[in-house]
Structure 1
Amino acid sequence: MEKTKKIWEKAKKTATDKEQIKSTISKAGSKLRSIAENSNELKEMKSKLQILLRMIQSHISGEYRSFPVSTIVLIVFALVYFITPTDLIPDFIPLLGFTDDASVVFLIMRKLNRDIKKFNEWEEDQWEQAD
């Protein structure tokens, strides 16, 4: 639990610094691209992380500002946890390494369900306006 506490503290600090958020987004995107989609769980985790990346990118670009601070911190926590190679179960352990990452991502997605729905509606409106 000590590692999770350290990751939480890092996430809170990162959430207040646009440059650190951008760096975290970049690292998470790179790691996300490197994950093979050889299981349904990994495909679903990738999909969930892509939503979180779009949410935080839209927030820091100023396009979408409807998130409370707690949502931003939770998104950043999920991303920092995901990119940290030595979390509860180190990522280099085949198959098991992403188990804890997926659990954290899914729990945060459930917690942010309302914000995600609002964001998805906003994104759909943006696509419709672009047509």
Structure 2
Amino acid sequence: MFSKKKKEIDEEYLKSGVAKVKDEDLDLAAKNQEEITDKILNSGTLRKYAELGKIMFGMLKDYRRGVYTNVPWFTIASIGFSLLYVLNPLDLMPDFIPGIGYIDDFAILTFALRFIESDLHSYLDWKLEEAENE
């Protein structure tokens, strides 16, 4: 079962999901920040993404407020898709399955971060410049 599910969770799955993201999905991700953050923090598998999750939410919020716009839509959509994927308890591998329930969430976050890593660095550079200018 695991190898079959693992094959379903690949870059193409992420790209097809990202292509379907709409503004309403970004609103939903932002609205559920606390629940998504709690899920990341309380899952041993996802905990290593806690700080990156904060950065992703920060970028999403700044983008939605219109203060940070130097970012491709693909990056914003990847953030929205991956965070909503983590929120969904009944995804490809339901989260309640002991031991493997969060592996698909981990895979989606890993793939998304691989695609958007340079944009996250650019965002952090921008945040530092903003802090220096205050």
Corresponding residue for residue 64 of structure 1: 68
Question: Any stretches of 5+ residues in structure 1 without a counterpart?
Answer: none
- 1:84 equivalent in structure 2: 88
Distance 1:90 1:43 in 2: 18
**Structure 2 stretches lacking a partner, 5+ long:** 1-7
Query: How big is the shift at 1:44?
Result: 1.3
Matched, 1:42 2:46: yes
Counterpart check, 1:100 vs 2:118: no
1:87 partner amino acid: D
What is the number of residues matched between the two proteins? Answer: 125
Query: Residue 25 and residue 113 in structure 1: after superposition, are their counterparts in 2 closer, same or farther (change >3 A)?
Result: same
CA distance in structure 2 between the aligned counterparts of 1:59 and 1:20, rounded to whole angstroms: 14
Matching residue of 2:3: none
Task: Quote the offset at 1:13 in angstroms.
Answer: 4.5
Where has structure 1 moved over 6 Å in runs of 4 or more?
A: none
Could you tell me the TM-score, scaled by structure 2's length?
A: 0.76
CA contact (8 A) 1:89 1:100 kept: yes
Alignment partner of 1:31 is 2:36: yes
Q: What is the rounded CA distance, in whole Å, between the counterparts of 1:121 and 1:42 in structure 2?
A: 25
Q: Give secondary structure in 1 for the equivalent of 2:101.
A: helix
8 Å Cα contact 1:45/1:106 also seen in 2: no
In 1, Cα distance between equivalents of 2:81 and 2:56: 11
Cα distance in 2 for partners of 1:76, 1:104 equals 12
Q: TM-score, normalised by structure 1?
A: 0.77
- Aligned-pair identity (%): 25
* Cα RMSD for the two superposed structures: 2.7
